[in-house]
């Protein structure tokens, strides 16, 4: 993968009816990467996609694709194609005509259209479906046709608008792998928009987390999951236990002693902090260590009781209420030593974590 800016937003602003969606928004997407824009509904992610596709024009700033400012180029003239959330197949055309539509519009000759439709169908593994009608296909098959219809035009960027959200869980997982395979096979830049963090983590090379039109964090899936830069990202990506803490002592090498709920904890951060500074210590549910109170070792730990236990198959997800009233979520994998491991409601437990698994962010960052 070449690491060059291929698609960029330079200080793009966009409003709808006096509501500012994007303000001086910057974005850089590399050539050939699977880039995901992740955010809650109404955060501006679909607007970004529509600005790339050309369904919207920026009020200010420019959208540059492969060295060319495409900001005011209408959608029909842009080298981009979109896979819509609702598939939006043409109901009156056969699968062949649906997929051939883009090529017909650009005047490609019939023999080449035929060959390329067959290629596209084989990429999405729907060989032999040429003569079917959209209403004869299942949701997953429609989705594949929509992808074939978009990629056949060999776009510079393929845009996917929550393209998998209408599929059921199993099919969605399968299509996630399919999309990754297609992207590798074609080496086209994919820009995927979703509110589903699992989808974003699974498929992407890089993820942009966005909220209220503001970029929160850009990074690899691992970076945004393990090192969220602020509380929004920490809460939006996966589950988080957030402890309010105060630095009480600075050791060397980014090591600190912090006070959490009256106990002193040794923590490691990637920022410099001063004594008395407030910080948030973030721990994922699977990073907390839980024991029955009676088995607890002679180490600092929080004491509480189980108020909820949920068996999910792979894990046992529990909710703990600490004696000081705070609520923690934990997630434990079953292990072979104790496959019947479980909690009773109101079970007394003891919680701590392995030093170094915590992630520390400044308290003033939301």
Partner 1 sequence: MNISTFSSLINFRRVVITLTLSWLTLFVLLPHLMVLLTSILSPDSEHLVVWPITLDNYTRIFEPIYANIFWDSLLLSGTTTVICLLIGYPFAYFLSNMTPTLRVVLLFLMVVPFWTNSLIRIYAIKMIIGKKGIINSFLLTTNIIDTPLQILYTDFAVVIGLVYILLPFMVLPLMASFDKLDKNLIEVGRDLGASAVNRFIHIILPLTAPGIIAGSLMVFLPAMGMFYVADILGGAKTLLLGNVIKNQFLVVRDWPFGSAFSVFLIVLMAALLAIYHRANSYIQQKGGLDDENL
Nearest to 197 by CA among 228, 155, 241, 154: 228
Stretch that binds partner 1, among 20-28, 100-108, 295-303, 304-312 (CB under 8 A): 100-108
Binders in 108-137 for partner 1, by CB under 8 A: 133-135
Our finding on whether 84 is near partner 1 (CB under 8 A) is yes
Our finding on whether 105 is near partner 1 (CB under 8 A) is yes
Nearest to 145 by CA among 162, 128, 168: 128
Our finding on whether 91 is near partner 1 (CB under 8 A) is yes
Supply the DSSP symbol for 170: H
Q: How far is the CB of 153 from partner 1 (least distance, A)?
A: 7
Q: How far is the CB of 87 from partner 1 (least distance, A)?
A: 9
Q: How far is the CB of 104 from partner 1 (least distance, A)?
A: 8
Stretch that binds partner 1, among 23-31, 94-102, 121-129, 165-173 (CB under 8 A): 94-102
Nearest to 130 by CA among 141, 281, 140, 199: 141
Our finding on whether 71 is near partner 1 (CB under 8 A) is no
Secondary structure of residue 266 in the 3-state scheme: strand
Round to whole Å and give the CA distance between 150 and 159. 9
Our finding on whether 66 is near partner 1 (CB under 8 A) is no
Asked whether 365 and 214 are in contact (CB, 8 A), the reply is no
Tell me, rounded to whole angstroms, the distance of Cα 201 from its chain centroid.
5
Round to whole Å and give the CA distance between 357 and 299. 17
Secondary structure of residue 230 in the 3-state scheme: coil
Q: How far is the CB of 18 from partner 1 (least distance, A)?
A: 16
Q: How far is the CB of 161 from partner 1 (least distance, A)?
A: 10
Residues that bind partner 1 (CB under 8 A): 53-55, 74-77, 80-82, 84, 86, 88, 90-93, 97, 101-102, 105-106, 133-135, 149-150, 153
């Amino acid at each position: 993968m070449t690491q060059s800016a291929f698609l960029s937003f330079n200080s793009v602003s966009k409003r709808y009816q006096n509501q500012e969606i994007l303000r001086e928004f910057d974005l850089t997407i590399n050539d050939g990467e699977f880039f995901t824009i992740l955010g809650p509904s109404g955060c501006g992610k679909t607007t970004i996609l529509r600005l790339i596709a050309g369904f919207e024009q920026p009020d200010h700033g420019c959208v540059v694709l492969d060295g060319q400012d495409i900001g005011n180029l209408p959608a029909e003239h842009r080298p981009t194609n979109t896979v819509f959330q609702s598939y939006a197949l043409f109901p009156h055309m056969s699968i062949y005509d649906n997929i051939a539509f883009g090529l017909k519009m650009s005047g490609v000759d019939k023999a080449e259209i035929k060959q390329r439709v067959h290629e596209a169908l084989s990429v999405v593994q729907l060989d032999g479906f040429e003569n079917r009608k959209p209403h004869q296909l299942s949701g997953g098959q429609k989705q594949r046709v929509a992808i074939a219809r978009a990629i056949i035009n060999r776009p510079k960027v393929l845009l996917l608008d929550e393209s998998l959200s209408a599929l059921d869980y199993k099919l969605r997982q399968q299509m996630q792998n399919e999309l990754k395979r297609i992207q590798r096979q074609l080496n086209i830049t994919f820009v995927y928009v979703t509110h589903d963090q699992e989808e974003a983590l699974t498929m992407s090379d890089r993820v942009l987390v966005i909220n209220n039109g503001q970029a929160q964090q850009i990074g690899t899936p691992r970076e945004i999951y393990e090192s969220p830069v602020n509380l929004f990202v920490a809460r939006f990506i996966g589950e988080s236990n957030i402890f309010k803490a105060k630095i009480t002592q600075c050791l060397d090498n980014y090591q600190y002693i912090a006070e959490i709920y009256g106990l002193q904890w040794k923590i490691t951060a990637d920022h410099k902090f001063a004594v008395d500074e407030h910080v948030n210590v973030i721990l994922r549910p699977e990073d907390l260590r839980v024991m029955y109170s009676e088995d607890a070792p002679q180490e600092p730990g929080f004491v509480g009781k189980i108020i909820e236990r949920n068996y999910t198959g792979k894990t046992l997800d529990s909710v703990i209420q600490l004696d000081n009233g705070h609520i923690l979520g934990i997630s434990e994998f079953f292990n072979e030593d104790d496959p019947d491991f479980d909690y009773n409601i109101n079970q007394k437990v003891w919680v701590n974590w392995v030093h170094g698994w915590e992630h520390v962010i400044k308290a003033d960052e939301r």
